[in-house]
Amino acid sequence: MSQNDTAEAQTESLIETDVQTGTDSRTTAATEPIVTTEALDVYYGEDQAIDDVSMEIPANQVTALIGPSGCGKSTFLRCLNRMNDLIDIARIEGTVTLDGTNIYHEQVDPVALRRKVGMVFQEPNPFPKSIYDNVAYGLKIQDKEVTDERIEDALRSAALWDEVKDQLDQSGLELSGGQQQRLCIARAIAPDPEIILMDEPTSALDPIAASKIEDLIDELVEEYTVVIVTHNMQQAARISDQTAVFLTGGELVEFDDTTTIFENPADDRVEDYITGKFG
User: pLDDT for 217-251, tens place per residue?
Assistant: 999 999 999 999 999 999 999 999 999 999 989 99
How sure is the predictor about 276, in pLDDT bands with cuts at 50, 70 and 90?
confident
Q: In what order do the strands lie in the sheet with 47-58?
A: 47-58, 33-44, 90-98, 101-102
pLDDT beyond 70 at 4: no
How sure is the predictor about 15, in pLDDT bands with cuts at 50, 70 and 90?
very low
For residues 87-108, give the mean pLDDT: 95
How sure is the predictor about 30, in pLDDT bands with cuts at 50, 70 and 90?
very low
The packing angle between helices 148-157 and 177-189, to 10°, is 120
Strand (E) or helix (H) holding 244: strand 242-247
pLDDT at residue 6, rounded to an integer: 47
pLDDT at residue 141, rounded to an integer: 83
Closest CA to 204 of 241, 239, 176, 171: 176
pLDDT at residue 24, rounded to an integer: 38
pLDDT over 90 percentage in the chain: 82
For residues 168-185, give the mean pLDDT: 97
For residues 27-45, give the mean pLDDT: 83
Give the span between the Cα atoms of 226 and 237, in whole angstroms: 15
DSSP state at residue 177 = H
Contacts of 31 (CB under 8 A, 6+ apart): 58
For residues 168-192, give the mean pLDDT: 96
For residues 99-122, give the mean pLDDT: 93
Q: Which amino acid is at 10?
A: Q
pTM of the full predicted structure?
0.87
How sure is the predictor about 31, in pLDDT bands with cuts at 50, 70 and 90?
low
pLDDT beyond 80 at 21: no
How sure is the predictor about 207, in pLDDT bands with cuts at 50, 70 and 90?
very high
Please tell me which residue, 31 or 23, carries the higher pLDDT value: 31
Closest CA to 123 of 189, 203, 186: 203
Give the span between the Cα atoms of 273 and 126, in whole angstroms: 35
For residues 40-52, give the mean pLDDT: 97
Give the span between the Cα atoms of 34 and 77, in whole angstroms: 14
Cα 101-104-106 angle, rounded to 5 deg: 100
